[in-house]
Amino acid sequence: MTKRAKSIENLIRELNKLPGIGRKTAQRLAYYIIDLDKVEVKTLAESIVAAKENVKRCKICDNLTDSDICEICSNNKRDESLICVVEYPKDVEAMERANCYKGLYHVLHGVISPIRGLNADDISLRKLLQRLSTNKVEEVIIATGPNVDGETTAIYISNILSKLGVKVSRIAYGLPVGGDLEYYDELTISTAMENRTVMGEK
Ligand SMILES: [Zn+2]
């Protein structure tokens, strides 16, 4: 076996740690990067560092942003009486692509999953409750995924919010069950939003 230069080996190892990047792809990317000119490599490396340094959680909704308050929270055309609760920032993007919702969001950054040992302390729930105590929120729409963890999370949040007298609804997933919001097309998402059902009613 030919000995590979240590720097190349290091680069391959780091790339290999990324999700969806197997050893072979990591090798291909490493050699591609080495073939780039110096300026291009520098731009690539700097954009990774800058993204990590500049991106933070919005002080209101916990979505990822470059500023203290994200673009959606600081847009006064958005309906402040609605909060749509999603699992991850990519779900906000999916919802915005569907262009069917004009309220605000709250990003949990996870789900409650007893099987995986994740409980309510592992998601951004406290901040959501704080928002409800200070803002004029009329409805919280839960848009966690249509799978076991998403459902568990939705029921948990709904139970808490119902006790606080907040109207809680769940978006209605029509067809595919078991997927993630980000994989649905715009029509599925907007239909799910339109057909949302109220939770916690006896
Ligand atoms: Zn925000």
Contacts of 62 (CB under 8 A, 6+ apart): 106, 107, 108, 109, 124, 127
Contact 158/133 with Cβ under 8 angstroms? no
Percent of the chain predicted with pLDDT > 90 = 64
- The Å distance, Cα 70 to ligand 1 centre, comes to 4
CATH 1.10.8.420 maps onto the chain at: 6-54
List CB-based neighbours of ion ligand 1 within 5 Å.
58, 60-61, 63, 70, 73
172-189 average pLDDT score: 68
CATH 3.40.1360.10 maps onto the chain at: 64-198
- The Å distance, Cα 124 to ligand 1 centre, comes to 13
- The Å distance, Cα 149 to ligand 1 centre, comes to 24
Distance in angstroms (rounded) separating the CA atoms of residues 35 and 113: 44
DSSP of 123-169:
SS-HHHHHHHHHS---EEEE---SSHHHHHHHHHHHHHHHHTT-EEE
Distance in angstroms (rounded) separating the CA atoms of residues 144 and 170: 8
Q: Choose among 100, 106, 104: nearest CA to 63.
A: 106
Statement: residue 71 has pLDDT above 80: yes
Please state which of the four CATH numbers 3.10.400.10, 3.40.1360.10, 3.40.718.10, 3.40.47.10 is assigned to the domain occupying 64-198: 3.40.1360.10
- Give residue 63's Cα distance to chain centre: 7
Q: What is the pLDDT of residues 140-178, one digit of tens each?
A: 999 998 888 998 999 999 999 988 888 999 888 765 555
The CATH architecture to which 6-54 belongs is: Orthogonal Bundle (1.10)
Helix/strand number for the chain, H first, E second: 7, 7
- The Å distance, Cα 154 to ligand 1 centre, comes to 20
